[in-house]
Every structure is written in structure tokens, then in C-alpha cells.
């Protein structure tokens, strides 16, 4: 088995613009801004930013990605990792507290529940960005865009292999249900191809996803 490393991060700055985008706010008035500020104030310092990861050799043949410990067939993942000889497999979470906020306010304030959902999504994205930035700096490499089970044609059942290898329950406190849902809910697993500066391909992470009508789809 490969060596799985763990890492904790300090709380990254909150990006209000991203939170509002995830909340589906197309227009912003003083009430929404007050709601957002109130939720951030309540949530800050309540998250735990944890990551576990491992590095594996990679061989790609057509649309089959062979990581040595397992292989997966996915045209989208193969395209994303093309020309990489190594990849990292990663699991990340911001902890269970956000689920408690969402559950609490779902009963008493739906608008707050929506805002906390958005905050949780922004937090996990910020954590993954921080991890990838640190990995690049510490190792002198570049990473391809993150690619998670459920993107494009990569089956959600790939979660089973990632959890088996990373041991997410032990290393970051994230469990996987029979229907591939993670708990805490604000958690992700993903692949990242490792490349050098001459092979760096700047892609939006949505570029291999076939869900073109997604409200969160980034610019490509």
C-alpha cells in the first residue's frame, strides 16, 4: 500500500462573492448582505480543515487510468490526466459543524440554512485550493485541475477505491454510505495529475463535466 499523509490547515479567508454565487443570489441587497455577514460571524473558527492524500504512479491507455493499486475507466479523467506519470489522490473535509448549522436552521430559518450550505461549499473549495497550492510550492511541481468521482463519466462508485486507499474514516473522519454519500457532507475526494512547468495545462475544473446547465458551472 502507498503511504497516506495527513495535513491540517488554518482557516482561509472567506470569499463572500463565491458564497453568494453558491447560494444562488443573483442580486444583493442590504438584507442578503446582513444575512451573509451574520452567518459568517457564526461559522468562523468552527471548521476543521483536514486533508489526507497519497501519490501514485500513473499509466494511461486509451481511457483507462492505471494507478497500480487500482484502475478506472473514464474518458474524462484520462483526458484530464493525459501526459502525467504521477497523480495524487486526496480526501478533504471541513468537519461536521457545518452540517449542524444546516440541520438547525433548516427547521427555524430556511434562508440561513441555504447560506450555510453555500458557506460550506465555499469552505471546502477554499481548503482544496490551499492544499493544491501548498503541494505545488513544496514539491516544485504543477497540478492539473481537480477531478472528482461524479465529474463527467467518472462513476461515483470510484469513491470506494479512494476511501479504501486513503482510509478517510481514520485519517480525516469522513465516512462513505452505501449510496456513495459522504459524512460530513462538506467533504470531497479527487484526483490531481502531477506535471512540470512545460506541461502545465490551465483548465477550468468544469471543462470535462457534461452537465452544461449547472448553475455553478465556471467559465471555460
CB 151 within 8 A of CB 72: no
- pLDDT at position 196, please? 85
pTM for this prediction: 0.89
CB 72 within 8 A of CB 130: no
Average pLDDT, the chain: 91
Scanning the structure block, which residue is given the C-alpha cell 484502475?
A: 71
> Please, what is the end-to-end C-alpha distance for the chain in angstroms?
37
- Is pLDDT of 220 > 80? no
Per-residue pLDDT reduced to its tens digit, 69-119 = 999 999 999 999 999 999 999 999 999 999 999 999 999 999 999 999 999
Q: How far is the C-alpha of 111 from the C-alpha of 164, rounded, in Å? A: 37
CATH number of 5-199: 3.40.109.40
**Among 202, 193, 208, 206, CA closest to 82:** 193
Q: How far is the C-alpha of 219 from the C-alpha of 212, rounded, in Å? A: 11
Q: How far is the C-alpha of 182 from the C-alpha of 93, rounded, in Å? A: 10
Amino acid at each position: 500500500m502507498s503511504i497516506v499523509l495527513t495535513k491540517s490547515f488554518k482557516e482561509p479567508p472567506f470569499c463572500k462573492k463565491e458564497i453568494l454565487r453558491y447560494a444562488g443570489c443573483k442580486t444583493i441587497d442590504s438584507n442578503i448582505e446582513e444575512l451573509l455577514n451574520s452567518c459568517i460571524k457564526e461559522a468562523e473558527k468552527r471548521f476543521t480543515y483536514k486533508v489526507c492524500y497519497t501519490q501514485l504512479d500513473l499509466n494511461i491507455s486509451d481511457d483507462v487510468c492505471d494507478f497500480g493499486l487500482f484502475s478506472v475507466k473514464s474518458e474524462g479523467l484520462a483526458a484530464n490526466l493525459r501526459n502525467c506519470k504521477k497523480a495524487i489522490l486526496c480526501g478533504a473535509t471541513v468537519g461536521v459543524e457545518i452540517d449542524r448549522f444546516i440541520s438547525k436552521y433548516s427547521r427555524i430559518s430556511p434562508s440561513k440554512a441555504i447560506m450555510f450550505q453555500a458557506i460550506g461549499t465555499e469552505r471546502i473549495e477554499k481548503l482544496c485550493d490551499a492544499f493544491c497550492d501548498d503541494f505545488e510550492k513544496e514539491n516544485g511541481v504543477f497540478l492539473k485541475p481537480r477531478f472528482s468521482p461524479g465529474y463527467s463519466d467518472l462513476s461515483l462508485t470510484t469513491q470506494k477505491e479512494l476511501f479504501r486507499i486513503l482510509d478517510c474514516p481514520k485519517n480525516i473522519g469522513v465516512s462513505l454510505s452505501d449510496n456513495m454519500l459522504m459524512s460530513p457532507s462538506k467533504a470531497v475526494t479527487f484526483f490531481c495529475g502531477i506535471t512540470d512547468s512545460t506541461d502545465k495545462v490551465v483548465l477550468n475544473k468544469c471543462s470535462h463535466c457534461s452537465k452544461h446547465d449547472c448553475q455553478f458551472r465556471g467559465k471555460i
